[in-house]
Structure 1
Amino acid sequence: MNAPTSSLTPRRRSEIAFGESDFQRIAAFAKSEYGLHLEPSKKAMIHSRLGKRIVALNLDGFTEYDKFLRANLDTESDHFISALTTNVTNFYREKHHFEQLQSEVLPRLVERARSGGRVRLWSAGCSSGPEPYSLSGSVILLCPEAPKLNVRILATDIDPFVLRRAEAAVYSDEEAKIPPGAWANQVFEKSGGAKTDFRVRADVRSLVSFRQLNINGHWPMSGLFDVIMCRNMAIYFDNQTQQTLWRRLAEQLVPGGMLFIGHSERVSGPATGMLEAAGVTAYRKRSAS
């Protein structure tokens, strides 16, 4: 389906009307398709971001966009979800999690890997890549030979545009900033491109695989994880969806596995019987007994 020709002049395209009924349609669709809970306080953001998309498609307004979205879901859904989610991230964000990983969690996983065992980590909601690459840098700091062992990091996000950036693994000087500490020289090499660009080292990249995933949809992974980072994602969901997510994440951990969540998030619902507090917004899966 091709977008119809717009009657709006370029000067007025930023003035596309966005009423309550428009918001309710967008919010209902986001909830039914992706589990996103859009608060009324997000109206201005939705108006601005989807308004740009409406202009790009040369549509007349939100009613026409709603029809276009539903008729072209296979191709438009990526743009829709990218407009509604915010990809704020940086390397070693909430560094207390990485300090805990390095001192308490990773040493035993490295020991297992060196003995021929399997180690799996998952960055859920990985955005443009700083989180999984930070995980990988932490692993390689303790275990330089990790790329030759059975150690892998899965990085998933619903937004295919940020995943492409993540796979490119090139960051500006501002994006590549790392907090002082053991990781300072662990992640980057000069990219060879722009003077201020940094490329993630080959050994760090080698541990990470990127995949598109709707966290509220089907999870195709068959194995369990030793560490899951799912930080600042649940804030997009209502309470019931959050509780379902915590339970599913807990089920995806090995006994003793660690779940790290966002600074403003708390595990709730059935997962509280499966997980125990093990640090600041860190949880450990209880043993079967």
Structure 2
Amino acid sequence: MPFSKQLAARYDSVEDDHLSLRDFKLIANLIGDEVGIKLPPAKRLMIEGRLRKRVRALGLPGLDAYASYLFQRDGLDAERPHLINAVTTNKTDFFREPEHFDLLESRLVPDLLALRRGERQPLLKVWSAASSTGAEAYTLAMVLADLVAQRHDFRFAILGTDISTAVLEQGVRGVYPTELVAPVPPAKQQRYLMYARKPGARPEVRIVPELRRLVRFDRLNLMDQTYPFDRDVDVIFLRNVLIYFDKADQEKVILRLVSHLRVGGYLILGHSESMIGTAVTMRQVAPAVFQKT
């Protein structure tokens, strides 16, 4: 068959390969129940596109066979982490919504340290609660490392958590396409990024080991009833993830996270998110920034 006809045949086969409405609803309900993410019918084509990679990886003939494998042939236990990895959205950038990092440096850290004047070299604990590939966690590490170099009066540790094992693996490696680190200020690029001597077809950089050692990554489902982490965290970033949850789940997640903050600690949401309508009572100190009192 001529190459052009092969491409056309492949294109047609993809265009004709869809989840039935019933199977999409089963997958949407599963994801909603397990990780809290709501998948309305408008997301159907997007989910199909992502799941086709799993269809190919498993050697299945199409999406119908994939759904059958999940729900009729007891493949769900083995496939569950891959399914979650496939359907979760992992949009992230270094220095995304930069005003939050400016505020952390200029006001939040000084205020937190003022509350702990009696301690020698207090340890500030910062949690990136939807860390994706680690860009937010390493942004925090860069900002705090610069502050430590200026002040010499505190230490810090950063925890990054996510539901997706695939993005957590990238966070642990600390390797990113060069274009992704473009928002990192030049001075920080020089201090905290390593460039390959012979870049490949797609140049990459790696976070320096001194910074990687200060960031730990762990898997966490925000829908879990309890979180196995410290309850004296100073700052929690939970940005641009609540928009995927319904109101009831948003409130439960926020309440659980706030229970891990020390008094005086801060919760930082995305600018498009709000705690209006929840039972959480915190003092708002800046747009999308709340303090536990």
What range describes the TM-score normalised by the shorter chain of this pair? Answer: 0.7 to 0.9
Alignment partner, residue 276 of structure 1: 283
Alignment partner, residue 51 of structure 2: 50
Cα distance in 2 for partners of 1:285, 1:182 equals 33
1:126-145 matches, within 5 Å, as 126-144=131-149
SS at match of 2:31: helix
The verdict on how the C-alpha distance between 1:255 and 1:148 changes in structure 2, with shifts beyond 3 A counting, is closer
Structure 2: gaps (5+ residues): 1-8
Alignment partner, residue 4 of structure 2: none
Alignment partner, residue 5 of structure 1: none
Alignment partner, residue 229 of structure 1: 237
Normalized against structure 2, the TM-score is what? 0.84
The verdict on how the C-alpha distance between 1:146 and 1:158 changes in structure 2, with shifts beyond 3 A counting, is farther
Q: Does 1:199 align with 2:200?
A: no
Alignment partner, residue 158 of structure 2: 153
Tell me, yes or no, if the aligned pair for 1:147 and 1:206 is still in contact at 8 Å. Answer: no
Alignment partner, residue 26 of structure 2: 25
Alignment partner, residue 213 of structure 1: 220
Q: Does 1:115 align with 2:115?
A: no
SS at match of 2:172: helix
Cα distance in 2 for partners of 1:239, 1:281 equals 17
Cα distance in 1 for partners of 2:217, 2:151 equals 18
Instruction: Using the TM superposition, name which of 145-154 and 183-192 deviates more.
Output: 145-154
Tell me, yes or no, if the aligned pair for 1:141 and 1:186 is still in contact at 8 Å. Answer: no
Alignment partner, residue 246 of structure 1: 254
Cα distance in 2 for partners of 1:59, 1:92 equals 40
Structure 1: gaps (5+ residues): 1-8
SS at match of 2:273: coil
Cα distance in 1 for partners of 2:194, 2:30 equals 43
SS at match of 2:103: helix
The verdict on how the C-alpha distance between 1:145 and 1:192 changes in structure 2, with shifts beyond 3 A counting, is farther
Question: How many pairs were matched up?
Answer: 277
The verdict on how the C-alpha distance between 1:172 and 1:242 changes in structure 2, with shifts beyond 3 A counting, is same
Tell me, yes or no, if the aligned pair for 1:22 and 1:62 is still in contact at 8 Å. Answer: no
Instruction: Using the TM superposition, name which of 18-27 and 104-113 deviates more.
Output: 104-113
The verdict on how the C-alpha distance between 1:87 and 1:147 changes in structure 2, with shifts beyond 3 A counting, is farther
Equivalent of 2:101, from 98, 103, 121? 98
Tell me, yes or no, if the aligned pair for 1:139 and 1:146 is still in contact at 8 Å. Answer: no
What is the aligned-residue identity percentage? 34
Cα distance in 1 for partners of 2:184, 2:122 equals 31
Q: CA deviation at 1:75?
A: 2.9
Question: What amino acid sits opposite 1:261 in the alignment?
Answer: L
SS at match of 2:37: coil
